[in-house]
Amino acid sequence: MRVLSVASECVPLVKTGGLADVAGALPAALAGDGVEMRVLLPGYRAVMAAQDKAPVLCDIPELFGGPARILQGVLGDTTLYILDAPHLFDRQGGIYLGPDGRDWPDNPQRFAALCKAAVLIAAKGVGGWRPQVLHLHDWQAGLVPVYLRQSGVRDVKTLLTIHNIAFQGLAPAQMLSSLQLPAQLFNPRGFEYWGRISALKAGIVFADKVSTVSPTYAEELMTPEFGMGMEGVLADRAGDFTGILNGIDLDVWKPPYADPKDKAPYRTALREEFGLPKADGPLCVVVSRLTGQKGLDLLIEALPALLENGGQLAVLGSGDPGLEAAFSQAAARYSGVALRLGYDEPLAHRMIAGGDAILVPSRFEPCGLTQLYGLRFGTLPLVSLTGGLADTVINASAAGLAAGVATGVQFHPVNAQALSRALTRLCGLWRQPAVWRRMMRNAMTHPVGWDASARAYADLFRAMTA
């Protein structure tokens, strides 16, 4: 089974979120299920610098304003295809945002080019290899089914995976011609969305199958509360829509201890690194983008419940300036709160190793990975009851504790009052060492790898091509 993964980011080369982790981990996970997955990635500066000797497979004389090439690189044991288009990707700034923090104005063309390159590989193959399935990630690959339809290729199937429906790839209707899109599909049953082009909607409507990254998020997306205007489109595809939970790379996220009792030195080291004093309650960590989606404004409001119960908070992240300021003020005001702005992967590992609990109070969460890291390290997740958080954490309810299966704390509704109660409950559990240790052991043995999910993807790919 030959599958080409079409992604806008992929660890370890370039990452802004969980999509990159999935794109990087899934090829190796699928290999054991008889699926050869290769990855197509834009030739950003960081990618080109890491793959500077990649041979050229084919030339594209003109691609949305300039020449391009497809190169063949390598990512561990995975074959990597790189779309080298300097006029689109060789620039300072982020992969989606310019130095001014705004979207690159030519993002529609940049990722349309990625889609065109995927269709070229599907139609003609490269280096003697041609995929049977194109696995498309988010709106950046959403135009592939439309371009594939235009190309006349019928023997290559498409699966669109939605990692976050909040990002919909919108472009003005005036760009129909410049994006080389068929005007007859610009209608409510096609890729038209409130008078604009939506690359995500194009993928949802025209891909052979659609998936998202947890079963609960799949259900949520067909409701007005979570569907963000796409709920009706997804409901129309309900028979072709499924949720497959993400996993994590167990080699990358491997705790430095095998037994919960051995966490103590890492907790002490983390307190020292963040300048936190000893405390009577749990050391909680947040490793996250600082955004409203992540519910971190609610955490600011609920902080007294944690601190009054002897708990502490160490935060790593960046994002909304208002939230950065709020956490900075909290760190200045409370001795039990510490903040590091930015992102630091090694520090994230040390925080999850040394923390007692990891807080993920998201308003919505397609899958979430940090709670999976927490489970793996015995760092108990406190999560809102939504999306993949609901699918991966077993609540320390009376029933969960009585059955001896609890792995964390869930709360609902998603507001500051419920979060405050959950933080108080977390601290109460901390004061019961035997209960806490049992939960840690449950968490550390909970399956968070890719095995089951990779089998689900492999089964889906085979069903698509049967």
Q: Which residues are annotated as a binding site for ADP-alpha-D-glucose?
A: 15
Query: CB 219: neighbour CB atoms within 10 A?
Result: 15
- In sign, the C-alpha dihedral spanning 170, 227, 42, 124 is negative
DSSP letter at 76? T
CB 365 within 8 A of CB 389: yes
Q: Please tell me the distance from the alpha carbon of residue 159 to that of residue 1, in angstroms, as a whole number.
A: 14
Q: Is the peptide bond before 413 cis (omega within 30 degrees of 0)?
A: yes
DSSP letter at 259? S
Which residues, in sequence order, are CB contacts of 223 under 8 Å at separation 6+?
A: 231
* Tokens found for residue 440: 């840690």
Binding residues: 15
Q: Give the sheet arrangement for strand 409-411, strand by strand.
A: 337-341, 312-317, 283-287, 357-360, 380-384, 409-411
Q: Please tell me the distance from the alpha carbon of residue 158 to that of residue 447, in angstroms, as a whole number.
A: 29
Q: In angstroms, what CA-CA distances link 181 with 111, 175, 186?
A: 13, 9, 8
CA angle 285, 245, 409 (to 5 degrees): 35
- In sign, the C-alpha dihedral spanning 362, 368, 370, 372 is positive
User: Can you tell me whether residue 48 is helix, strand or coil?
Assistant: helix
